[in-house]
Amino acid sequence: MQQQTPYNNNQQGEHYMNHGGHEVFDLHEVLACTINVLDQFMIFRQFVQDHELLDILDRQYNFTLFHYNLTAECFATGQKPSQETGTYMIRNLSQPIYGIKPTQPKKPNQSLADVKDAGISAHMLGLIKSHASLLTMTAVEVTNPAVRRVLASQVQNFIEMAYEIFLYQNRNTYYQVPRLEISDMQKMLNTFVPAQGMPQMPPNNRPSLH
């Protein structure tokens, strides 16, 4: 007796046809880049010294791995994944610190002994920001509704993850935020104003069908 398979030939044919060609290439890039983020975080872990940064790394690794599995699943099946996408919560949400404090000049590391939390957190931030951009660019071109939703739902979470790393860096003066002079700031804030009333749209010149 022939062993049953999850899909018959017709179902398999329909499954392979519910992705656009461009979408397939994009999803390969997304999944490969997600693996790169995970692998880089694993490499970074051995160099982390601060407990708070280690907690951020581990939570973001686990969140990314979970959504890698969901993305791979719905891409392979073309259907809604077996679990819902999650929501990433920043554990230590603080207000940004503005202003510049004197710090040591930066320079390239001379050896692995020079690797510090400042550099590790900067690498983490760069990876997460790039991945948020890649997810956004890919989601707007995906034709499969299940895959599109899974990708789009991750964008805000990766933004939150990037902001969490920024806040950590900001608290530790790794990422300082300068401010403009008050007069310059006021001018910049007042550059744009809301539109008033309804705009007068020009008539459409398309010939009438009647």
**DSSP labels for 50-95?**
-HHHHHHHHHHHHHHHHHHHHHHHHHHHSS--SS-------SS--P
Residue 11 has pLDDT above 50, yes or no: no
Q: Is 142 helix (H, G, I), strand (E, B) or coil?
A: coil
Estimate the share of the chain in helix, then strand, then coil, as percent rounded to the nearest 5: 60, 0, 40
The pTM score is: 0.86
Say whether pLDDT at 56 is over 90: yes
Segment 32-40 shows an average pLDDT of 98
Residue 63 near residue 22 (C-beta atoms within 8 A): no
> In this structure, how many other beta carbons lie within 10 angstroms of the beta carbon of residue 166?
18
DSSP helix/strand/coil, 99: strand
CA dist 108 and 49 (Å) reads: 19
pLDDT reported for residue 205? 86
Judged against a pLDDT cut of 80, whether residue 134 lies above it is answered with yes
Which class in CATH covers the domain with range 14-101+116-182? mainly alpha
Residue 181: pLDDT band with limits 50, 70, 90: very high
The per-residue pLDDT for range 78-112, each reduced to its tens digit, is 899 999 999 999 999 999 999 999 888 899 999 99
Q: Which amino acid is at 190?
A: N
> Please, which residues have CB within 8 angstroms of residue 156's CB and are 6 or more apart in sequence?
none
Q: Residue 107 CB: number of other CB atoms within 10 A?
A: 7
Checking 58-64 for CB contacts under 8 A at 24+ apart, the result is: 59/91, 60/88, 60/124, 60/128, 60/161, 60/164, 60/165, 63/88, 63/157, 63/161, 64/34, 64/37, 64/38
The whole-number pLDDT of residue 17 equals: 60
